[in-house]
Amino acid sequence: MAWPAYLNEYEKLVIRMDTPRVVIDNAVCPTATLVKVDSARKHGILLEAVQVLADLNLSVKKAYISSDGRWFMDVFHVTDQFGRKLADDSVISYLEQSLDTEDDGLRRACCAETFTALELTGADRPGLLSEVFAVLADLGCGVVEAKIWTHNGRIACLVSVKDELTGSAIDDDAQRIHHIESRLLHVLKGDRGGCSARIVVSSVAVAQADRRLHQMMFADRDYERASPSAASSSSPAVSVQNWAEKGYSVVTVQCRDRSKLLFDMVCTLTDMEYVVFHGKIDTDGDLAHQEFYIRHKDGSPINSEAERQRMIQCLQAAIERRASEGLRLELCMEDRPGLLSDLTRTFRENGLLVRSSEISTKGDMALCVFYVTNVAGRPADTKVIDAVRQRIGPDCLIVMEEQQPQLRRRAADDGREEAQGSGGVGNGLFYLGNLFWRNLYNLGLIKSCS
């Protein structure tokens, strides 16, 4: 690479040492591609690596995380979204360049187009999304893209808008911005005048929407349940124990596997100012087991019961936020002013509640994914869905059936699952004692003697 003239030899050496080294190996494992990353350790470096995998929609089947002193080494066993090894050379090349760059800003550079970014958080209710899009349409704001999550009675929205007539950002019109904020805040507060609604308007595009949504919902304290009984038996099993001898807190998570699960865990731990020193991720069928050895940034473990309980709540919330509740509806049709307002009004008038959504525009086309339930949170009636499709256009709105992953658990796991869910720290401590050697084996640096 060409070095800037102002760098001396020492500065060049530091850059070389800090730049992650990446090896992608398709030969070692018959079912997954190995992605090996090693670098100087710094806060957030693990999240950067995991985020690249998440951005490419790669599934992490296994992972080994280890750091020693000022160096860290990660191994990820990944597949594409269809469960296959990576075979596309362009994807492999992009993965290498993205993980191996020393300039994180280049990797996450936003597109040249500029839009006005809106961040909305508040109490969720039936029809809220319809009202938000109706206000934007009424104020001449075209939605370029949007992402919506709901969890525990709260909603977080990231919406990029442009002027419907000019196609440009609207940040330079302070009076108009104030009017948009006022109207949307009134909608978010609703008739009850909720005081926790919040709107942020910015000209800076969000580099990573999923991480920002996690941060917004965390700041809105969506992890707090109304009562302890609100945590159902289906809640993810999370345990946190301290290993006093080594000065670690051991976080164990067991839940149903899904896309971007590892990213959600690492993102939450990082934003809560914890450092992951060691970890192991494993999947078996539809079950994911994750184990992290963490400390505060100052090197101390979790030091109170209140902090331990808060950690459990926050990780459970991070898993549940992205959970795809409801029926998946995919829409592809020509974009037009007020399209989203009309769509979401149709959902509302037919008693459908949008649990999450991802919206984008490509040229003159609008591409949308909605997860919907009835207003009680139960599966939507088939007749209602058919009526909605007929109104919107059966060729434009497609119902996608959820594909359940095949179960491949060993028979012995049935008796072991409950014990793992209880989250005892014993297995974790035993694992850490062999972590170093297991990582060497999975890196191919030593051979198995079995």
On the question of pLDDT at 404 being above 50, the answer is: no
At residue 192 the predicted structure's pLDDT band, cuts being 50, 70 and 90, is low
* Choice between 443 and 124, residue whose per-residue pLDDT is larger: 124
Q: What is the mean pLDDT of residues 29-44?
A: 87
pLDDT of residue 7: 59
In a domain, 420, yes or no: no
On the question of pLDDT at 339 being above 50, the answer is: yes
pLDDT single digits (tens) 253-283: 999 999 999 999 999 999 999 999 999 999 9
**In what side-by-side order are the strands of the sheet with 154-163?**
198-202, 116-123, 154-163, 141-151, 352-362, 365-374, 327-334, 397-400
In a domain, 384, yes or no: yes
Which range marks the domain in which residue 158 is found? 116-206+325-400
In a domain, 181, yes or no: yes
Q: Which residues pair with 351 in a beta bridge?
A: none
* Choice between 245 and 445, residue whose per-residue pLDDT is larger: 245
Percent with pLDDT over 90 in the chain: 61
Whether 130 and 345 have beta carbons less than 8 Å apart is answered as yes
pLDDT of residue 17: 56
Token match 């050496």: residue?
13
Q: Which of 106-120, 163-177, 196-210 has the lowest mean pLDDT?
A: 106-120
Q: Which of 265-269, 287-291, 394-398, 429-433 has the lowest mean pLDDT?
A: 429-433
Token match 């302070």: residue?
174
In a domain, 175, yes or no: yes
In a domain, 372, yes or no: yes
On the question of pLDDT at 443 being above 90, the answer is: no
| CA dihedral sign, ordered 135, 141, 142, 148 | negative
pLDDT of residue 108: 46
pLDDT single digits (tens) 241-257: 999 899 999 999 999 99
Q: Which two structure tokens, joined as six digits, stand for 168? A: 């440009």
Residue 391: its H or E element: helix 382-392
* Choice between 98 and 279, residue whose per-residue pLDDT is larger: 279
Q: What is the mean pLDDT of residues 23-38?
A: 92
Whether 199 and 119 have beta carbons less than 8 Å apart is answered as yes
pLDDT single digits (tens) 281-302: 999 989 999 999 999 999 999 9
Return the top range by mean pLDDT from 67-81, 92-106, 323-337, 427-441: 323-337
pLDDT of residue 146: 96
Among residues 185, 173, 189, which one has the least CA distance to residue 140?
A: 173
The alpha carbon of 369 is separated from its chain's Cα centroid by a whole number of angstroms, namely 16
In a domain, 139, yes or no: yes
Q: Which of 122-136, 147-161, 203-217, 353-367 has the lowest mean pLDDT?
A: 203-217
Average pLDDT, the chain: 83
In 102-141, where does DSSP find H-type helix? 104-107, 128-138
On the question of pLDDT at 197 being above 50, the answer is: yes
The contacts of residue 316 (CB under 8 Å, 6+ apart) are 223, 231, 235, 236, 238
On the question of pLDDT at 234 being above 60, the answer is: yes
Percent with pLDDT over 70 in the chain: 78
Half-sphere CA count of 82, side-chain side, radius 13 A: 4
pLDDT of residue 99: 81
On the question of pLDDT at 410 being above 60, the answer is: no
Please tell me what DSSP assigns to residue 285: T
* Choice between 445 and 380, residue whose per-residue pLDDT is larger: 380
The angle subtended at Cα 151 by Cα 194 and Cα 60, nearest 5°, is 150
Distance CA 332, CA 345 (A): 17
Q: CB neighbours (10 Å) of residue 148?
A: 23
Q: Which two structure tokens, joined as six digits, stand for 130? A: 């319809």
At residue 38 the predicted structure's pLDDT band, cuts being 50, 70 and 90, is confident
Q: Which of 109-118, 262-271, 365-374 has the lowest mean pLDDT?
A: 109-118
At residue 226 the predicted structure's pLDDT band, cuts being 50, 70 and 90, is low
Residue 444: its H or E element: none
pLDDT of residue 415: 42
Among residues 214, 238, 210, 420, which one has the least CA distance to residue 311?
A: 238
Residue 365's SS3 state is: strand
Whether 371 and 358 have beta carbons less than 8 Å apart is answered as no
pLDDT of residue 433: 45
Residue 170: burial class (beta carbons within 10 Å; 0-12, 13-18, 19+): buried
Q: CB neighbours (10 Å) of residue 252?
A: 23
In a domain, 122, yes or no: yes
pLDDT of residue 136: 96
The alpha carbon of 246 is separated from its chain's Cα centroid by a whole number of angstroms, namely 31
Q: Which of 58-72, 231-245, 326-340, 434-448 has the lowest mean pLDDT?
A: 434-448
In a domain, 354, yes or no: yes
Tally the domains of the chain: 1
pLDDT of residue 232: 55
Distance CA 206, CA 181 (A): 18
Q: Which of 129-133, 175-179, 198-202, 406-410 has the lowest mean pLDDT?
A: 406-410
Say which CATH number the domain at 161 has: 3.30.70.260
Among residues 95, 98, 99, which one has the least CA distance to residue 87?
A: 95
Distance CA 32, CA 84 (A): 7
